[in-house]
Amino acid sequence: MNTKTAIITGASSGLGLECARALLRSDPSWHLVLPVRDVGRGGDAVSQLGEPQRCTVMPMDLASLTSVRAFTENVREADLSPLHAIVCNAGIQVVSDTEWTEDGVEMTFGVNHLGHFALIHGLQDQLARPARILVVSSGTHDPKKHTGMPNPGYTSAADLAHPRLEQSVHDGRRRYTTSKLCNLLFTYELDRRRNQGVTVNAFDPGLMPGSGLARDYPPVQRLAWRYLLPALRVLPGVRSTRNSGRYLAALVNDARFGGVSGEYFDGLRPIRSSADSYDREKALDLWETSERLLSHATK
């Protein structure tokens, strides 16, 4: 019998789908809500999961704050079991050009951070206790990791939301790594502000060749990401989406993580994140700017 609900963004494929699969298999009490841009793809994901009675597909586009607000209202009005978990997993990497959300915010920042900020903001009062919030970040946020990606470039959240139009060859990937730094800044600030009974943690899934993050790469790089890099899974830090999905589901469900909050997990191991991720001034700037962006979007 379903007695608790989890919301997983980006669950129509990749890491989110594997997290959903593992969560359904690990505990029969979970009902999953899959917020998706394309309800057809959401239906396909439910078919793959094989548990249609335990899944609800709802429309939501993280690139539209109006859509996120509509989703949170739908959750409030739906006949669901109490909400005990939110997994902020969906993410994009736009490298070919500068794209913008419906609200005029740079797309990578808008989807990877601001849309999830709005989601949590809209559902915090719906969380039953105990509850867990998981935010998927990435080791690419940390310059010391030498991932081959450009180092994050956090100046201010206002600059990230509305960057200059000049586009260099590295801008798209740098916006991605900076958005992953924002995920950590948001996680730690949310942990500082959290209510009793709610835990907040971040997760590094590792390098997952074959995931959808390379969809905007040039053709040769897309082919390498899909067909050649999977051979590197024997190396440390390189994982399949299925294994990372199991780890993420464990952070949502396993009793051993029930009282843990404010941590950054590499798989199931808590580690230190980058020095910048603990910068309270940056975290406050990100939080306050995000609140202003949400406020402007409602006017």
List pLDDT tens digits, range 73-129. Answer: 999 999 999 999 999 999 999 987 889 999 999 999 999 999 999 999 999 999 999
What integer pLDDT is reported at residue 218 of this predicted model? 53
Answer whether residue 7 shows pLDDT above 50.
yes
Residues with catalytic function: 176
**297 band by pLDDT with thresholds 50, 70 and 90:** confident
pTM exceeds cut of 0.75: yes
Answer whether residue 236 shows pLDDT above 80.
no
Beta carbons of 253 and 27 less than 8 angstroms apart:
yes
How confident is the model over 161-202, as pLDDT tens digits?
999 876 565 689 999 999 999 999 999 999 999 999 999 999
Residues contacting residue 239 through CB under 8 Å, at least 6 positions apart? 205, 206, 207, 208, 233, 267
Pairing of strands 269-271, 264-266: antiparallel
Q: How many domains does the chain have?
A: 1
Residue 156: domain span: 4-297
- The tokens for 248 are 């993420």
Pairing of strands 4-8, 198-204: unpaired
Pairing of strands 127-136, 55-59: unpaired
**212 band by pLDDT with thresholds 50, 70 and 90:** low
- What is the average pLDDT score of the chain? 90
**64 band by pLDDT with thresholds 50, 70 and 90:** very high
Answer whether residue 219 shows pLDDT above 80.
no
Give percent above pLDDT 90 in the chain.
80
CATH assignment at residue 59: 3.40.50.720
Closest CA to 25 of 208, 266, 267, 250: 250
| Residue 2 Cα distances to 5, 27, 30, angstroms | 8, 9, 5
Instruction: Give CA–CA dist 165/17, Å, rounded.
Output: 35
